[in-house]
Amino acid sequence: MKKEADLSIDFCGVRFENPFCLSSSPVGNHAEMCARAYDAGWGGIVFKTLGLEKSFKVIMPSPRLSIFNNFDKRFVGLQNAEQITDRPILDNIKDIKWLKKNYPKKVLISSIMGYVDEDWSDLAKMSQDAGADLLELNFSCPQMAHKTAGHRTGQDFHAVASFTEVVKKACTIPVIAKMTPNITDMIPVALAAKEGGADAISAINTIRAITDIDINNFTPLPNIRGHSSPTGFSGPSVKPIAMRFVSELYNSKPLNLPISAIGGIETWIDALHFLLLGATNLQVSTGIMRYGYRIVEDMIEGLQDYMMERNIQSLDEIIGKAARKIVDPSEFNTRFQVVSVVDETKCIGCGQCYISCMDGANQAMEFNKETRKVFVNEERCVGCLLCKHVCPVWDCISYKEVDTNEMKHAAIF
């Protein structure tokens, strides 16, 4: 019997039994919820972002959620107008103390958001005194009603560096700076956080978006008394964007900080993707909101099975393996091209690949009306693989590789 794969991981000098954490959101709003998550098997939680009511009183809008559907597939994205916690700070600190007392081997990360230096300093000290293992600085919430908070701070390099420095001076536990994706290039902001003393980076937070519009009253959703706003978008739809940012952070040599990845993680394969792109810690919210805390059981089992099948002993062996293969498009090897190949025995004659290639690619697919089969004109095929991607039969269309140097050599003779 093979030995069970070890999912424990070191992040900022703190040992996690597994890399799976609740991200700062409604899924970790108070002690009872976090305890349920710990009991389900999560390695850590990032407690819902704390603020000081003396500086800004949070009043939640309602309704605050809208989902993005793709035809019959529901909930491929979630838009929320949620803000940081609206609970009194002393209640939250009491919960953190209780959680650390009752779950001493589990990791607790306190997410904080201030508005002035004193806020950041006070929140850091209170969190550390309550027993938090790490701090996450929320520079990224896209729908905070406060005019100088959330993603607005995260777009200001000077503010990020300055507030990070304030927190580092106020505490001794590791500090994670949470980045906003509502920016063109995340690296300069991350470097500003590093300049301020950040020990790690977390990314991404939600993306400002509009998911739907009620076409009867012309109001975007969620409809809050006749108005709406671009607010945070999360879930499976944001995963490709999150993977891009995480890989860029990992590949940045000047940055060289551990990364906690957030963005569309629902399955063990999602988790594996982010680990391969350089993350050493993983945070989940939207997946939990839809399926519950127990999704961690499947993620743990799936990741362990994958590692055991390949004789991978620890996560350290795979961290960043895919990120190292990412290059600038100018570095692509274009000597080798591909040509589509159709398996006629599996072709159902729907003609979708033919239509897509004729109207959206290079008109390389040909359709026999009598046999209702398609075949490839290899001289026209440019290997875009649109045909493969639109084909409803997953393994009907494949491709072969062509060495263009050999073709040129053959043409000479």
> What per-residue string of b and e applies to 320-344 under the rule 16 or more CB within 10 Å gives b?
bebbeeeeeeeeeeeeeebbbbbee
What is the DSSP secondary-structure string of 349-400? ---HHHHHHHHHS-S-EEEETTTTEEEE-TTT-----HHHHH-SSTTTEEEE
Q: How far apart are CA 85 and CA 28, in angstroms?
A: 10
Q: How far apart are CA 199 and CA 232, in angstroms?
A: 26
Burial of 215 (0-12, 13-18, 19+ CB in 10 A): exposed
Gyration radius from the chain CA atoms: 25
Q: Is 141 designated active site? A: yes
Q: Of 342, 357, 350, whose CA–CA distance to 392 is shortest? A: 350
Which one of the listed residues 21, 34, 141, 391 is annotated catalytic? 141
Q: Is the dihedral of CA 191, 263, 297, 65 positive or negative?
A: positive
Query: Are the C-beta atoms of 277 and 260 separated by less than 8 Å?
Result: no
- Catalytically active residues are 141
